[in-house]
Structure 1
């Protein structure tokens, strides 16, 4: 993304937002110049009985956008694109309230609300057919043939997210406990790592089960599995199984068109070769028609691409009530003030 600067005489811009598990990132810019200025908050947007909390989102977003408007000189933000984690199942209140609030606050006339997996897709592959595997603590795959969106997994650490960080960490801890018990399939290397990380293994259930951030606790052990994989066959098999799960999930939603591509996004892939080597092999076997392509950008890049393409009226991606919806409110709100 480009750095700060002026608007070159423009007074209306675009707003792009990435709301995920690690917080909120916001940029403003123009369709011609891209991002001009950026802000971030490390506080994730809350969820509650109504799903994603629009008031909590706006409470963080509005001050950041006002600061960005002062920095760039915009007097309105005509188009906005917001990528939000959990939008598909927890986004009803956000869809009902956010477009009107942005219209009142910033004169926003077009608001795109997208699942963060969709903005991740757009950031990685742009407007071309294929599939993106997004893997961090959890795991989801999103694919499109440019006529509709499809998703697979993303069901959370108890019911799915197979191959994601929590899945790998849990499998590693299970192998550690098997070694502690003397059961087959255990790993003394992983047992030693688990004891160094969590203390005596008899206390491990008490450190995992009561935690509200249980998926993150499990995922914190995934890098230890990767660190052991070169000379521990149990750790290597865990990563191999994770790779096969990822490839199966990608294959479930990848279009069969000849120009499809596969891309990977998310922090889990920072584990590098121990995971990427078996994953590349599994993807080549399951999806021989769709070569693996380096992701061009992240979900914030995807939100900005979405906002600028909407501003130009040139977006070619399909709309979907849960995955990518667009609300238009003609005319600037009279009470929008910067």
Structure 2
């Protein structure tokens, strides 16, 4: 069986082609202006590189699919059927493809912590639990944007002379943004405010004062709460995302969970998960009630 799995993020995309379970080609693109065009480009590149013209199944995990996936839903399946002879197309949030990549088709929880924070848990018997992922304005607790925002607030408290401010973070703010007024102006003008605040995380890590370390520890505790709340059956949690490379976050996360909860590294990536889902969508082994949409080619 020849399948393609793709992972569409906010700023880039990756994909791989596998033949009977073995990856034979991979590709990626940076910058996505049109997600439908990105999928077409990835699939076309993989087939061209392997001198093939058709594929059995395609699975795409896309950031924010269920909130802004209408165009993908309307255009990708018919394009894959018509142009590449696909029999099955599966579309889902990148959280599901990350789950499949991290745990395989096994029960547990996957928590992704980068700019945002979201967890997905399942018993793979039909029950799924999604926790947080509500965005930087009202959620994503413990994510990069949350850390950045909390740290910038501490810096501004120091600038004002209010309690619980951080002089170290104020110094970092001024070095990174110029001054307080420039920070506020940039936040007002930029569309990627969440990414902008998350970009301050390395400065929080380097600051080293007790306020900064407290923020990172609190982030780890928030992430642990999110992951724990997503447990449906098996107390197994796989962690993904750049924030778990931050030692203080990682250690606080582990310390905030009970000893009976197993924390493990992901088995594979979101692309690996998409490949697994493409096969499952074709041979009828998709987990019950999996949060995805499956499309089959019309009979000729």
Q: TM-score, normalised by structure 2?
A: 0.94
| Aligned-pair CA distance for 1:81 | 0.6
The Cα offsets for residues 50-103 of structure 1, whole Å up to 9 and x where unpaired, read as xxxxxx223233233223212213231111110000012112332233211110
| Aligned-pair CA distance for 1:226 | 1.7
Q: Secondary structure at the match of 1:318?
A: coil
Provide the residue aligned with 1:315 in structure 2: 285
In structure 2, how many angstroms separate the alpha carbons of the residues matched to 1:221 and 1:37? 36
Alignment of 1:1-338 (within 5 A): 13-33=2-22, 35-44=23-32, 46=33, 56-146=34-124, 147-229=126-208, 232-255=209-232, 257=233, 259-271=234-246, 273-284=247-258, 288-311=259-282, 313=283, 315-320=285-290, 323-331=291-299
In structure 2, how many angstroms separate the alpha carbons of the residues matched to 1:293 and 1:63? 34
Distance 1:94 1:58, change over 3 A: closer
Q: Secondary structure at the match of 1:74?
A: coil
In structure 2, how many angstroms separate the alpha carbons of the residues matched to 1:245 and 1:325? 31
The Cα offsets for residues 9-42 of structure 1, whole Å up to 9 and x where unpaired, read as xxx6211110011311121121332x21111111
| Aligned-pair CA distance for 1:314 | 5.6
**Residues 319, 325 of structure 1: 8 Å contact kept:** no
Which blocks of at least 5 consecutive residues in structure 1 are unaligned? 1-11, 47-55, 334-338
| Aligned-pair CA distance for 1:250 | 1.2
Q: Secondary structure at the match of 2:169?
A: helix
**Residues 13, 30 of structure 2: 8 Å contact kept:** yes
Q: Which moved more, 1:154-163 or 1:88-97?
A: 88-97
**Residues 31, 308 of structure 1: 8 Å contact kept:** no
Q: TM-score, normalised by structure 1?
A: 0.84
